Structure 1
Amino acid sequence: MKMVTQGSLLSAFRYDLPASLVVFLVAVPLSLGIAMAAGAPLAAGLIAAAAGGIVAGRLGGSPIQVSGPTASLTVVIAGLVHTYGWQATCLITILAGAIQVLLGLLKAARAALAVSPAVAHGMLAGVGIVIALAQLHVVLGGSPQHSALANLIQLPGQIIGMHGHKVMVGVLTVLVLLVWERLPKRISAVPAPLAALSVAATTAWLLNWDVTRIDLSGAIATWAPPQVPQGDWHHVAGAALLIALLAGAESLLCCTATDGMHNGRRADLDRELCGQGVANMVSGALGGLPVAGVIVRSTTNIRAGARSRSSAILHGVWVLIFALCLGGTIKLIPIEALAALLVFIGIRTISLGNARKVHGHNEVPVYLVTMTGVIVIGLAEGVLAGLALAALLALRRLTRVTIDKREEPDGRLHVTVSGSLTFLGVPHLTQELRAIPTGTAVDLDLNIDFMDNAAFEAVHSWRLDHERLGGTVAIDEVHDQWYTMAAGGARMSPAKSPPKPAGRWWLPWAHRRRAEPAMTESECRLTQGTQEFHRRTAPLVRPVFTELAAGQQPAHLFITCADSRIVPHLITSSGPGDLFTVRNIGNLVPRADSDPCDDSIASAIEFATGILNVHTITVCGHSGCGAMAALLDGPATTAHLRHLGRWLRHGDSSLALLEGGADGDDPDTKLDRLCRLNIQQQLANLRTYPAVNEQVQAGTLKLMGLYFDIGSARVEVAPPGAPDSPATVTSLASEPERR
């Protein structure tokens, strides 16, 4: 614990302390400017910065976010100050904080997780452009305008009339920021923003440049306590709710945005909302502006190298100390240097990597609308516009219906409908279905996860009309039986069904249900199975089989039982071309010197090891093996089956191993032990083949035993050799899979 504490202190001293100073230097002028723009006392901005840093930084759920007065609430605060006065606005801020605490306790902050990343990235880019345009005017020796568009329009004239010393300070700051990270690590260990401000301030002081300074005289003396608003309490409550929602939304959006900019612990949004609420209550009680998570300060904090919440708390402490007794020290830093730092940070928030991410998910419109809205209208309006567009696009994707038509060689028309069938997709669905010629035999696959009543009526009415005119319709549903249940009058679930595999080849025929008349006795399940393969699976696997058509190169020889319950590709999750498979009754491998010799097994071993050069030979047995049960019952069981009895003689060596073990086991236990011992005996029999033995000794071939427990659908592995006890068999799964 002591080492952890020392490490935390070292990290705070090395990373968070310098970062807090940088954020402090950025927060002071911004806080004062926001207070002035809102018509509030200058001290209100400093009080809010201190409360946001200390209270929200300590109680909030984000380890890296910095809170304070925010420009996005300037218009709202200005209106409240004009209507109710400043002291009444402070009480409204307290009420807004209480609402935020209540929402946080109710876990309402989780709604912020539904915000599209494209909206967050667009917000970051828009805020970056707004900040860069505004502060560029300050760098050029002027004053920022009331909007981003006005700043852009006035920029050419500002460039023409720019002032030399002020521009030089800004350019010097940007140059230091650009080259600082390329310097040796010993030098670049100091955060670049702090170094840039220090270099700019020192240069301006040594050369006596004409730069702009801040005058804070009389700022603290203007503080006044909150008062009860005079007016309609409905309007007061509405104003408090508006501030709570705007400030809370900005804080949570800032959390989600900054979470992707650092490698630390992710934010707890509910805790963050509660922390913001307490900070607003403290700020309002002390006569400060409303508090929110501020993207500019948070990104500045991250860029400056902050690692924990200590940076935000320390930044609030520095603001508090400065407001009380060190107001004159800010005059050492030129405003133009601070503005240049903000221009640089604003541009850095426009990430091309984020733009490429949203482009890859076709969310560029959301990104552009959010960014444009933030720049042209405002932060809240731009975010709302982005959210609205993201919701519309999501609704369009969720209700998109894909209809594929393909004519089969037998003349039947195969139609596949994919997506979510809602009333929004009915026009397109109806158009495609009505275009099918009358009298056509149609196989309709509904690969859907939801169907509402309008979609059902459209499909059902078309089916009835098509069959009335002489056509046939066979409907197969890949997911839940939406159509079948609706046709039967069953109540439909309001939720979407979970997706299931498009192909169901692994299910026994008896488990497959189709929304068509049941098969008659004369119909062949194999024929119908091949038809289903042609419709569903063949288009998916055709590219794989095209590659395999030139030849096979399996890495495994898989010897297993002919039992119909054993599906090698299913229990090994293998595909075409992976396993060279040999199946026989009892997964037996006759010894190479057996008389008579079994050419079937011997030839497969020779071909696998001599031509295919497999790396592994696996013998797979299973529980409840009928061949092993016949061995236990004795020769009389197969006396009337001459060929089977002769074949099972190859299992006598496995039976001898069982008889050499302990007695007294019940029949089921004996059968299970014999099934396991038989695997290892056949592995030993494989070593009697010279080619196999040589490759095993050379290390180019591995022998492996598998045991499939049918009842639990569990595969176990057994090492080569015949053990005295089946205890050496090890499960491949941590626990039985449940189906």
Structure 2
Amino acid sequence: MDALLGIQDDGDPPFMSEVLSMRFAGFQQTFSRDLLASLVVFLVALPLCMGVAIASGMPPAKGLVTGIIGGLVVGFLAGSPLQVSGPAAGLAVLVFELVSQHGIAALGPVLILAGIIQVAAGFARLGAWFRVTSPAVVYGMLSGIGILIVLSQIHVMLDATPQAAGLANLLAYPQALTSALKQWSGEGSSGGCALLLGLITIAIMWTWDKKRPHSLRFLPGALLGVTAATLISLILGLEVNRVDVPSNLGDAIDFVGLSELALLANPALLMSAIALAFIASAETLLSAAAVDRMHQGPRSDFDRELFSQGIGNFLCGLVTALPMTGVIVRSSANVQAGAKTRLSAILHGVWLLAFVVALPFVLTAIPVASLAGVLVYTGFKLADPSVISSLKRYGRAPQLVYVVTAVTIVCTDLLTGVLVGFILSLIQLAVMASRLKINIVYDPEDESQAELRMTGVATFLKVPKLSRALDKIKPGTTLHVPLDNLRYIDHACMELLEDWERSHQADGCQLVIGHWALKRRLEGATHKT
């Protein structure tokens, strides 16, 4: 303990006051860094919490409630100390579909059940298993989500209402754009001005990402874009849709009652809860792993992180807020701003709560189109086409899984797309695991001796291929079958080899199998043959 505190052992125990003084000095050093980092994360989280809520078809205040719970509760319990939790764009599509089909009342019970599933998974120490997901499926899921966010939020940038499906949003563009442009002919629509504000927000975010001075790297582009768009709209007196936030935060809280819990009798809602729990957990733990690579501090405890996320989503369900995950955008901002402990994530929740309670009138001045611009920019970054080229080094199969997953999500829904991606990944795994290369090599000095060389996995799926190879063996051949290059051989292939020997004994054929190699492979013996 003395070594941890930096105290030299000179034979006499240190005075308690000296120990406390050193601890306080260490706390002061980390506190100043955590305080600054929490302010940076707060500035990043404020527009994103409201923007994700709008993209989810929910009031902006719901996103702020989730951000507050993510900071105050999950930040305190988290197994990944520097990860920041809150509403995530990755779940916006799932929530939008759920609310569109079953109403806002169904969201609370679904979130409660999803939180219970996550808590149970954390207790069962399943944290690492939620990370056993093909990267091609994960990237395809994020890309599909990004495309859907762009397709829906462009409508919001036009001060219009998005459709429930991605393709429907795409087909509705001509009418929405025509209606927005009518503003310039004096027909009263606010879509034209709203579109300009959204484009200004995107332009500022893009420019800030590319040209940001190093000394101001802690300032988020989203905050600058939203602030600029808000000031422009106020100075010019533009009549556009603005954020609707209640003056009392308690008005944004809708506690779940027994009548809402009864909705879980619907099998569709049960499946939604399972899907939400899985996707939220996978996104959280992948983010936690990414955060671990950004700093040299304590590593993440995935089971504890899963448990804390479950508690957070359970509480969000009780008050009918948005679901939460560990969010890589806010977490990376936290690390880059110099955060040292979990205090930064907790304080960012404090600032969100204080801002909503003390300055709600500031939020009501923000144009909805500007927040939609933030989400459009985020969606484009999620749907990064460069992922296809990065997957190329692993072969064409991962690229196919990525594209099919993303396209299926856009054309159908999130759950279907993810399931299709998993099925394709399993098919790819089965194909890779069943590959078998077969060569027959004759001894150039003795044509009666040949070797059947097999590399890979010999299963019943390869019986036809192996049978065709055996049919080409010349009469009178002694066939040697070394098994050292096989990862596995099943009984179907072994029986085929033995049947071949029995049926060709009359032709003078013999079979010599590397039995010791087989025994080592089947029994796990460590001795060499």
Alignment TM-score > 0.5, same fold: yes
- Which residue in the other structure is 2:123 paired with? 105
Aligned 8 A contact 1:43 1:220 in 2 = no
- Which residue in the other structure is 2:202 paired with? 174
- Which residue in the other structure is 1:118 paired with? 136
The correspondence of residues 659-738 of structure 1 with structure 2, limited to 5 A, is none
Counterpart selection for 1:429 from 466, 472, 475: 466
- Which residue in the other structure is 1:5 paired with? 27
C-alpha distance 170-226 of structure 1, shift in aligned 2 (>3 A): closer
C-alpha distance 407-4 of structure 1, shift in aligned 2 (>3 A): farther
The correspondence of residues 208-607 of structure 1 with structure 2, limited to 5 A, is 208-217=237-246, 220-221=250-251, 223-229=253-259, 235=265, 242=271, 244-258=273-287, 259-260=289-290, 263-264=294-295, 267-285=300-318, 287-289=319-321, 291-293=323-325, 298-299=328-329, 302=332, 312-362=345-395, 363-410=398-445, 411=447, 412-446=449-483, 447-476=485-514, 479-481=517-519, 492-493=522-523, 513=529
- Which residue in the other structure is 2:222 paired with? 193
Taking the aligned partners of 2:254 and 2:450, their CA distance within structure 1 comes to: 81
Q: Deviations over 1:316-342 (max 9, x none)?
A: 444434554533211332222222122
Matched position secondary structure for 1:341: helix
- Which residue in the other structure is 2:20 paired with? none
Higher-Rg member (1/2) = 1
Q: Deviations over 1:441-481 (max 9, x none)?
A: 43323221222221211122123333442123333369443
Q: Which moved more, 1:155-164 or 1:167-176?
A: 155-164
Taking the aligned partners of 1:32 and 1:176, their CA distance within structure 2 comes to: 21
Q: Deviations over 1:217-263 (max 9, x none)?
A: 58843744432248979827x67864553232122221344334761
The correspondence of residues 635-654 of structure 1 with structure 2, limited to 5 A, is none
C-alpha distance 233-199 of structure 1, shift in aligned 2 (>3 A): closer
Give the number of equivalent residue pairs: 479
- Offset of 1:105 from its aligned partner? 0.4
Q: Deviations over 1:121-161 (max 9, x none)?
A: 11221222221222222234433221221222223444444
- Which residue in the other structure is 2:154 paired with? 136
- Offset of 1:275 from its aligned partner? 0.9
Matched position secondary structure for 1:343: helix
Amino acid in the other structure paired with 2:323? V
- Which residue in the other structure is 1:686 paired with? none
Aligned 8 A contact 2:110 2:264 in 1 = no
Matched position secondary structure for 1:418: strand
Matched position secondary structure for 1:108: coil
Counterpart selection for 1:67 from 77, 86, 107: 86
Taking the aligned partners of 1:291 and 1:425, their CA distance within structure 2 comes to: 47
Taking the aligned partners of 1:239 and 1:334, their CA distance within structure 2 comes to: 35
Uncovered stretches (5+) of structure 2, i.e. residues with no partner: 1-22, 182-190
Higher helix share: 2
Taking the aligned partners of 1:245 and 1:422, their CA distance within structure 2 comes to: 35
Amino acid in the other structure paired with 1:422? T
Taking the aligned partners of 2:370 and 2:169, their CA distance within structure 1 comes to: 19
Matched position secondary structure for 2:154: helix
Taking the aligned partners of 1:248 and 1:195, their CA distance within structure 2 comes to: 33
Amino acid in the other structure paired with 1:8? T
Q: 1 or 2 for the larger relative contact order (CA 8 Å, sep ≥6)? A: 2
Aligned 8 A contact 1:248 1:276 in 2 = no
Taking the aligned partners of 2:466 and 2:392, their CA distance within structure 1 comes to: 29
Amino acid in the other structure paired with 1:155? Y
Q: Deviations over 1:503-549 (max 9, x none)?
A: xxxxxxxx974xxxxxxxxxxxxxxxxxxxxxxxxxxxxxxxxxxxx
Amino acid in the other structure paired with 2:320? G
Taking the aligned partners of 1:312 and 1:159, their CA distance within structure 2 comes to: 40
Q: Deviations over 1:577-627 (max 9, x none)?
A: xxxxxxxxxxxxxxxxxxxxxxxxxxxxxxxxxxxxxxxxxxxxxxxxxxx
Taking the aligned partners of 1:4 and 1:381, their CA distance within structure 2 comes to: 50
Amino acid in the other structure paired with 1:165? C
Matched position secondary structure for 1:291: coil
- Offset of 1:416 from its aligned partner? 0.8
- Which residue in the other structure is 2:44 paired with? 22
Amino acid in the other structure paired with 1:470? G
- Cα RMSD (Å) of the superposition? 3.5
Aligned 8 A contact 1:247 1:292 in 2 = no
Taking the aligned partners of 1:21 and 1:183, their CA distance within structure 2 comes to: 16
Uncovered stretches (5+) of structure 1, i.e. residues with no partner: 484-491, 501-510, 514-739
- Offset of 1:164 from its aligned partner? 3.7
- TM-score where L is the length of structure 2: 0.78
Taking the aligned partners of 1:42 and 1:81, their CA distance within structure 2 comes to: 16
C-alpha distance 192-413 of structure 1, shift in aligned 2 (>3 A): same
Aligned 8 A contact 2:456 2:486 in 1 = yes
Matched position secondary structure for 1:481: helix
- Which residue in the other structure is 2:184 paired with? none
Amino acid in the other structure paired with 1:390? S
**Alignment pair present for 1:204 and 2:223:** no
Amino acid in the other structure paired with 2:502? L
Matched position secondary structure for 2:56: helix
C-alpha distance 401-327 of structure 1, shift in aligned 2 (>3 A): same
Matched position secondary structure for 2:193: helix
Matched position secondary structure for 2:137: helix
- Which residue in the other structure is 2:163 paired with? 145
C-alpha distance 114-459 of structure 1, shift in aligned 2 (>3 A): farther
Taking the aligned partners of 1:231 and 1:349, their CA distance within structure 2 comes to: 34
- TM-score where L is the length of structure 1: 0.58
- Offset of 1:268 from its aligned partner? 3.1
Taking the aligned partners of 2:528 and 2:307, their CA distance within structure 1 comes to: 53
Identity %: 27
Aligned 8 A contact 2:121 2:127 in 1 = yes
Aligned 8 A contact 1:16 1:311 in 2 = yes
Taking the aligned partners of 1:94 and 1:482, their CA distance within structure 2 comes to: 50
Aligned 8 A contact 1:252 1:272 in 2 = no
C-alpha distance 201-371 of structure 1, shift in aligned 2 (>3 A): same
Taking the aligned partners of 1:231 and 1:199, their CA distance within structure 2 comes to: 43
C-alpha distance 266-130 of structure 1, shift in aligned 2 (>3 A): farther
C-alpha distance 397-217 of structure 1, shift in aligned 2 (>3 A): same
Taking the aligned partners of 1:349 and 1:45, their CA distance within structure 2 comes to: 20
Taking the aligned partners of 2:126 and 2:429, their CA distance within structure 1 comes to: 22
- Offset of 1:60 from its aligned partner? 2.9
Taking the aligned partners of 2:47 and 2:344, their CA distance within structure 1 comes to: 13
